[in-house]
A and B are shown apart, each in its own frame.
Chain A
Amino acid sequence: MSKVPFTSRRAPVHHYVLAVILGAILTIAVSVLVGVSNPGDFWLAAGIGALCSAYPAMSLGARVFVSNNTVTRDARGEQSVELQWMRQAGAGAFLDVLVATIVAVLVLVIGRFTVDALPVLLGLVVLSALDAGVRYLVIRYRALK
């Protein structure tokens, strides 16, 4: 395997090829898995599975084979204020999601409602991501204003 200068910001061509191959293999594996779990509509399910998994799978391929050659490690990233903001936002979002989950469980139990798990789980994912993002922006705004 050839060594690339750290500052070149280019990986050897075969690293890009390996990244695409790994991404494609993972995408196909996930799409087949999703398709098999929905035998009534295999190709539609497999297509949706492929659409959902292609980006993360290709990203993983790039992370494994390309990033080491193209991304300069932030030597003092641990000491930057952004890390503190992210930790504060993440901690706050965790508590928000925990409280929201407890409230939702209480409402469902007391009201004896029955809901599908999938929309609830998707809602939690969206809530946690939005919450952490908004909290980060608010903390950043307050720190820099």
Chain B
Amino acid sequence: MKNNLAERRTGRNWTQADLAAALGVSRQTVISIEREKFDPSLPLAFLIARTFDCAIEEIFTAD
């Protein structure tokens, strides 16, 4: 899955550690999602969308 998580995160001036803390996951998890090497679970995808006040499909798109 492709995503624009890095752009959204930097748009808020958040570090990867900030986002990881907000999501309650490790920084490695955020790094892996941003590099599109790890597809988050559905609950985590919902949480990410809620964190950025948008819908899941605005962040994640199928390859």
Contacts and interface: CB of A to CB of B under 8 A. Distances in A.
Contacts of B17: none
A78 B19 CA distance: 17
A76 interface: yes
A79 B32 contact: no
B26 interface: yes
A145 B1 CA distance: 19
A143 interface: yes
A84 B25 CA distance: 13
B24 A81 contact: no
Interface residues of A, number: 11
Nearest to B41: A79
A63 to B, nearest CB: 23
A84 B38 contact: yes
Contacts of A79: 25, 29, 40-41, 43-44
A1 interface: no
A117 interface: no
B31 A80 contact: no
B38 A82 contact: no
Interface of B: 23-26, 28-29, 31-33, 35, 37-38, 40-41, 43-44
Interface of A: 75-76, 78-82, 84, 140, 143-144
